[in-house]
Structure 1
Amino acid sequence: MAILYVNNIKKSYGVDVVLDGINLIINEGDKIGFVGRNGAGKTTLFKIITGSIKQDEGEIILQKGKTLGYLSQNLDIDENLTAFEEVMKVFSDIKEIEERMRQIEEELSDPNSDHERLLKEYGRLQVEFENRNGYSCESYAKGVLIGLGLLEEEISKKICYLSGGQKTRVALAKLLLKSPDVLLLDEPTNHLDLGGIAFLENFLKEYRGTVLIISHDRYFLDVITNKTVEVLNGKVEEYGGNYSYFIKERKNRIEQRVKEYELKQKEIKRLEEMIERFRSFNREKSIKQAESKEKMLLKLEENLGDRPITYEENVRISFDTRIKSGNDVLQIEELSKSYGEKVLFNNINLMIRKAEKVALIGENGRGKSTLLKIIKGEVQPDSGYIRLGRNVEIGYYDQEQRDLNPEKTILDEVWDEFPQKTVREIRNALAAFLFKGDDVFKKIKDLSGGEKCRLNLLKLMLKKANFLLLDEPTNHLDILTREELEDTLLEYDGTIFVISHDRYFLNKVVQKICELEENSIVEYLGNYDYYMAKKNAKEDEIVVNEEGKTKTQIEKEKKKLKQERDKIKNIKNEIKKVEAEIEKKEKNIAELEEELCKEEVYTNPNMTRDINQQIINLKDELEKCYEIWEELLANIEE
């Protein structure tokens, strides 16, 4: 049964059309993922649904008596309250019932009170209190806060003393506890650690209401959603499955539409030729036939529409190294760091070698970002030491974007850091990251989170460092940019040490996961799925670190991983060669077909025959190239 109708919603900002005739029917119990590029209009649509901004045309119809809940950027929380007090406001009516029950208990002690009336009221209130889980609401609220990653001591802190991420978790907990009929979440995993994300996933899987989610977390969308809505060019398109289903089905739909479009184009060309031929006869019957065909042609052209979009413009990232580092890139020994009584980590050890792609994970507040800053030299440890290897050059990506000057323009921000480059070189680099035309003169303070991320990635790319320290590099990036970053990092020949909660990213890019605990770093020689398999295995099956294995075992595993990486890299190189050959042959065919149109050729039978034979031979070779290309792609997918 439908709970929410979105009817012909239109929204523009000046000449920019953000949403153009959006229609959706959302059923009770649906869990829908909204995907699309940053700026596509997803958040605008959510704000229109909740009534926080007004649409230009159309209407939103919510089933009578149903409620909406929205996790927005402007957090609806009182910073003078503690985190626990703030979320308990959700249960204020239950607490009022409890308070009235206490009052009745006091009144019953008065021998002159109306005992019969009070007992009836008390009994009614007690039933309602129990039915609404009044006895467990406090523990339930604490459980949700802890599940989302707040520590016991943080729950009793005033919100004004919490970090931005912690405040977002309080607001999210408050929203989940409200249990609205329709729950709208905009990037809910951005400030959660892996444990918090897992808790939210389980919560939403069991949630009985309707859930609408904007997220670039592909793993999260796969687990939660049963439908996907893509927002593209002001329109929406629905898919009856999760993110992985959407990717496959979208490709199929685009291929089908391209085929239909090309068939219509061929039919248009055929009709045009027939019309020209009929008119050349210059007879009454042939002219009528031509006019009939023209009507068919006009109708076909009216229904043709634009050529289907087969790709979206995306950033072009390419990480290179200026010089090669030594084999031992980073050595950490007996490292400790505390802030007051808060111990982040104590006596930890770690070794990272050249070309390794290592992820650092752990609970929020454990000191992951602090560890990267110690390696960078920005923060001093309490004890222990850091050793960087020979010729190691660090490139650092800060999730907080603190190294960007908000008053500078995009162009000046990059040019000031790389003054040796020409204006053309800087503008070409900016264009590759989708900063084009007058966009380069925008001030950084006016950029979105995703635009700031792209700008920092560009600066990191231009630095050509051989050791990348990346702190949540996929936060605020749309899915296409995430995929481009992942593919680029896979090709990168330097060393990577990355903090990330993006499980899709961790599965695809990293070869080793290090879990930061208070007194150790626990190492897992594999990606995220390998890490989870080991975490869920019996304790005696878990390999906690390299000291738990023989040197031979470690080297064998590393050798196997390297062989697999090298195999994929070789296949990708072969694919590039084949693609270049395909492009070359297609160009040759096009040139020969142009030759056939020249008068000196089509009037010469011998030349025409020779060129036609060359085209046939090239097309046969092209077909073989495509077969090889498909086989290579299949080998990568395996």
Structure 2
Amino acid sequence: MILACHNLNKSFGERIIVKDGSFHIEDREKVAFVGVNGAGKSTILKMIIGEEPTDSGNIVLTKGKTIGYLAQQQNLISGNSIYEELKTAKADIIKLEEQIRTIEHELKGLSGDELQTRLNTYNRLMSEFESKNGYAYESEIIGVLKGLGFQENEFSKEASTLSGGQKTRVSLGKLLLTKPDILLLDEPTNHLDLNSISWLETYLLNYPGAVFIVSHDRFFLNRVVTKVVEIDQGHLRMYNGNYKDYAEKKRQLRDAQMKEYLNQQREIKHQEAVIEKLKSFNREKSIKRAESREKMLDKIERIDKPMDSTQEMHFELNPSCISGNDVLTVEHLTKRFETQTLFSDISFEIKRGEHVAIIGDNGTGKTTLLKILNQVLDADEGAFTLGSKVKIGYYDQEHHVLHDNKTIFEEISDDYPSLTNTQIRNTLAAFQFTADDVFKLIRDLSGGEKGRVSLAKLMLSEANFLILDEPTNHLDITSKEILEQALNDYTGTILYVSHDRYFINQTASRILELVNQTFVNYIGNYDYYLEKKEELTAKYAPVSPETSVNSKVTNPNTFSESQEPFGQKLSWQEQKEAQARERKRKNDLKKTEERIAVLETRNQEIDELMTQEDIYSNSVKCQELAIEKSSNEEELETLYEQWADLAEE
């Protein structure tokens, strides 16, 4: 065991963070720390590292073990470049290297015992240098920086000038390079793109120490952790398994608690009815029996009704009208910032009812595209057209559509003046803003609270085309699940940017990946994207000298003649149909193989039956089996041909 927390207690005024909470983490164990926003996860991490005092209880770190902590917010003011900042994590190795070089210069002028003493020191330092993998520390730094999404031309940027998300990535890289015995990570995936998250998953899976992670990324937790610590209404509980295992065990436990509660309530009501009936007889004997039952009832230890961790959001997204079938048509769109081309000559269409996710690395232009479609930014070239009766609802991850100096109530009432005070309060209550909360200023809200205000405005908009930029950022898992359900029930059209792979899997029917300055289209969810990514990227968005030099790329919907035989150009619709045909072919091939296996197994069974005396001595039964086998053989001949045709396609 590397870390143990015993009987922790912490309160802020009347608000209880944790009450008699205990958990432990074993060496090399990967553990998730989950709970709704505001439950106290970050506070407990700060208690573990000593930034926040406990009211009572013990936190024990095994003697000689080191601990590293990544907070959600970082403040890098050293003046170092990105590369130099990460280099400080290897200060001990760099110091060793300097000592070794100094001794190497000294050795030339030494002799005798003095030479031998310095040689001994030199050999000791070299051994330590090699054991710490000193020769590879620079390549290790570069590997971590690239893994976290930094390009080589960014290494020299001053860290203090970076955005909040970039600073967090720098701090994460620095922490990983120090390799403490236990890592405490508070929302490490918040500012990472899909490739960086995948890299971090692999890094943590192979990390030689223990990891304690606060995260709302279900896909990430399912891959990395083997234990979950939950904080729920001040209580800490441990569950073995990944997030999926935890969620299932949690559901089973809640169901069992609810069943136990309901059974007890039925028994209590039954006893109360019996008592009331006995008293109604108005006989001394009956009254004594009623009194005896009352005493027994009073002694029952009442089971509390299982409560949710927090008041959940509850909302529906309903379009005010049905749009035309062609919702959005983008033609030859290009956007540049100074010398950087984000995307070039892109074209695509979105039809009514589609749920389309846009994915891609950080900095490729996903948010910029959404801003162009919402007329916040202008494109450099090309145009887009909205279809008939299309009404846009826009969710901005930076919440620029909110007004810092307004209260939450004013934010809604000013945009929707026809709503009564009661209607506004009811709407805000559905998003967990009650009582005086509605008079909080927008600028004083947390990221999660701003997200809920934006979702409330989105619901009231009654739009039939939702454009959403990172809608799950800062939402806890419960809120994400509610949003997923609302989007899946929504009858309009959705276009969104997200790095949440679980969310994409649950809500997307199509994915557009922005890669190499163009779009690659996937007709399916995230699992389908993973299956086809390598194949379709190589086909429709290859890296070429022309792409890197001229920033000119092929349009994913009218692919270049060199990519298609005989100069054919595939439209988006044709590509969609081609992918659908391929899925059908694979499905048919699988069904054919399964049917062949069934018939071949049955024929083997018939052959075995025919060797049994009670069968081969029964001419009627023998004839029946012979006819069945003959029929199977005919069907198999057809299936073999069918399989060969499908396999060759």
Shorter chain as denominator, the TM-score bin is 0.7 to 0.9
Q: Which residue of the partner structure matches residue 219 of structure 1? A: 219
Q: Which residue of the partner structure matches residue 370 of structure 1? A: 368
Question: Contact (CA 8 Å) 2:82, 2:158: kept in 1 or not?
Answer: yes
Deviation at 1:211, TM superposition (A): 1.3
Question: Contact (CA 8 Å) 2:364, 2:517: kept in 1 or not?
Answer: no
In the alignment, the residues of structure 2 paired with residue 324 and residue 400 of structure 1 have an alpha-carbon distance, to the nearest angstrom, of: 29
Q: Which residue of the partner structure matches residue 397 of structure 1? A: 395
Question: Contact (CA 8 Å) 1:222, 1:242: kept in 2 or not?
Answer: yes
Q: Which residue of the partner structure matches residue 496 of structure 1? A: 494
Question: Contact (CA 8 Å) 2:28, 2:210: kept in 1 or not?
Answer: yes
The answer to whether 1:3 aligns with 2:2 is yes
The answer to whether 1:505 aligns with 2:527 is no
Cα distance 1:164–1:246, how it changes in 2: closer, same or farther (>3 A)?
Answer: same
The answer to whether 1:185 aligns with 2:185 is yes
In the alignment, the residues of structure 1 paired with residue 392 and residue 263 of structure 2 have an alpha-carbon distance, to the nearest angstrom, of: 54
The answer to whether 1:22 aligns with 2:21 is yes
Q: Identity of paired residues, percent? A: 46
In the alignment, the residues of structure 1 paired with residue 538 and residue 451 of structure 2 have an alpha-carbon distance, to the nearest angstrom, of: 42
3-state SS of the aligned residue for 1:513? strand
Question: Contact (CA 8 Å) 1:36, 1:230: kept in 2 or not?
Answer: yes
Deviation per CA, 1:555-595, whole angstroms, max 9, x where unpaired? Answer: 5867999xxxxxxxxxxxxxxxxxxxxxxxxxxxxxxxxxx
Q: Which residue of the partner structure matches residue 175 of structure 1? A: 175
Task: Give the TM-score, by structure 1 length.
Answer: 0.81
Cα distance 1:79–1:513, how it changes in 2: closer, same or farther (>3 A)?
Answer: farther
The answer to whether 1:12 aligns with 2:34 is no
The answer to whether 1:208 aligns with 2:185 is no
Deviation per CA, 1:467-508, whole angstroms, max 9, x where unpaired? Answer: 221110001001111111111111222221111011111111
Q: Which residue of the partner structure matches residue 228 of structure 1? A: 228
Deviation per CA, 1:433-486, whole angstroms, max 9, x where unpaired? Answer: 111111101122222211110001111221122222111000100111111111
Q: Which residue of the partner structure matches residue 379 of structure 2? A: 381
In the alignment, the residues of structure 1 paired with residue 451 and residue 375 of structure 2 have an alpha-carbon distance, to the nearest angstrom, of: 22
3-state SS of the aligned residue for 1:95? helix
Q: Which residue of the partner structure matches residue 625 of structure 1? A: none
In the alignment, the residues of structure 2 paired with residue 286 and residue 417 of structure 1 have an alpha-carbon distance, to the nearest angstrom, of: 65
Q: 1:554 pairs with 552, 555, 576, which one?
A: 576
3-state SS of the aligned residue for 1:32? strand
Question: Contact (CA 8 Å) 2:75, 2:167: kept in 1 or not?
Answer: no
Question: Contact (CA 8 Å) 1:392, 1:466: kept in 2 or not?
Answer: yes
In the alignment, the residues of structure 1 paired with residue 60 and residue 538 of structure 2 have an alpha-carbon distance, to the nearest angstrom, of: 56
Cα distance 1:139–1:444, how it changes in 2: closer, same or farther (>3 A)?
Answer: same
Q: What is the correspondence of 1:423-438 to structure 2 with a 5 Å cutoff?
A: 423-438=421-436
Amino acid at match of 1:3: I
Cα distance 1:371–1:309, how it changes in 2: closer, same or farther (>3 A)?
Answer: same
Cα distance 1:320–1:298, how it changes in 2: closer, same or farther (>3 A)?
Answer: closer
3-state SS of the aligned residue for 1:135? helix
Q: 1:468 pairs with 450, 466, 469, which one?
A: 466
Question: Contact (CA 8 Å) 2:73, 2:168: kept in 1 or not?
Answer: no
Out of 124-133 and 262-271, give the one that drifted further.
262-271
Cα distance 1:539–1:483, how it changes in 2: closer, same or farther (>3 A)?
Answer: closer
3-state SS of the aligned residue for 1:77? coil
Out of 325-334 and 508-517, give the one that drifted further.
325-334
Give ranges in structure 2 of 5+ residues lacking alignment.
Answer: 543-555, 560-569, 584-649
Q: 1:446 pairs with 438, 444, 454, which one?
A: 444
Question: Contact (CA 8 Å) 2:144, 2:173: kept in 1 or not?
Answer: yes
In the alignment, the residues of structure 1 paired with residue 287 and residue 28 of structure 2 have an alpha-carbon distance, to the nearest angstrom, of: 61
Deviation at 1:513, TM superposition (A): 0.8
Deviation at 1:78, TM superposition (A): 3.6
In the alignment, the residues of structure 1 paired with residue 558 and residue 506 of structure 2 have an alpha-carbon distance, to the nearest angstrom, of: 26
Q: Which residue of the partner structure matches residue 161 of structure 1? A: 161
Q: Which residue of the partner structure matches residue 583 of structure 1? A: none
3-state SS of the aligned residue for 2:300? helix
In the alignment, the residues of structure 2 paired with residue 232 and residue 205 of structure 1 have an alpha-carbon distance, to the nearest angstrom, of: 27
Deviation at 1:167, TM superposition (A): 1.1
Q: Which residue of the partner structure matches residue 408 of structure 1? A: 406
In the alignment, the residues of structure 1 paired with residue 335 and residue 434 of structure 2 have an alpha-carbon distance, to the nearest angstrom, of: 44
Cα distance 1:352–1:267, how it changes in 2: closer, same or farther (>3 A)?
Answer: closer
Question: Contact (CA 8 Å) 2:77, 2:159: kept in 1 or not?
Answer: yes
Q: What is the correspondence of 1:238-637 to structure 2 with a 5 Å cutoff?
A: 238-268=238-268, 282=284, 296-301=296-301, 304-309=302-307, 313-536=311-534, 554-555=576-577
Question: Contact (CA 8 Å) 1:343, 1:518: kept in 2 or not?
Answer: no
- In the alignment of these two chains, the number of paired residues is 556
Amino acid at match of 1:100: Q
Amino acid at match of 2:218: R
Task: Give the TM-score, by structure 2 length.
Answer: 0.80
In the alignment, the residues of structure 1 paired with residue 329 and residue 265 of structure 2 have an alpha-carbon distance, to the nearest angstrom, of: 63
In the alignment, the residues of structure 1 paired with residue 252 and residue 3 of structure 2 have an alpha-carbon distance, to the nearest angstrom, of: 29
In the alignment, the residues of structure 2 paired with residue 436 and residue 400 of structure 1 have an alpha-carbon distance, to the nearest angstrom, of: 24
Q: Which residue of the partner structure matches residue 601 of structure 1? A: none
Cα distance 1:67–1:293, how it changes in 2: closer, same or farther (>3 A)?
Answer: farther
Question: Contact (CA 8 Å) 2:515, 2:541: kept in 1 or not?
Answer: no
3-state SS of the aligned residue for 1:120? helix
Compute the RMSD of aligned alpha carbons.
Answer: 2.8
3-state SS of the aligned residue for 1:17? strand
Cα distance 1:226–1:380, how it changes in 2: closer, same or farther (>3 A)?
Answer: same
Q: Which residue of the partner structure matches residue 602 of structure 1? A: none
3-state SS of the aligned residue for 1:8? strand
Cα distance 1:272–1:458, how it changes in 2: closer, same or farther (>3 A)?
Answer: closer
Cα distance 1:268–1:99, how it changes in 2: closer, same or farther (>3 A)?
Answer: same
Give ranges in structure 1 of 5+ residues lacking alignment.
Answer: 562-638
Q: Which residue of the partner structure matches residue 638 of structure 2? A: none
Out of 387-396 and 274-283, give the one that drifted further.
274-283
Question: Contact (CA 8 Å) 1:268, 1:300: kept in 2 or not?
Answer: no
Deviation at 1:387, TM superposition (A): 2.3
The answer to whether 1:39 aligns with 2:61 is no
Deviation at 1:318, TM superposition (A): 1.6
Out of 391-400 and 361-370, give the one that drifted further.
391-400
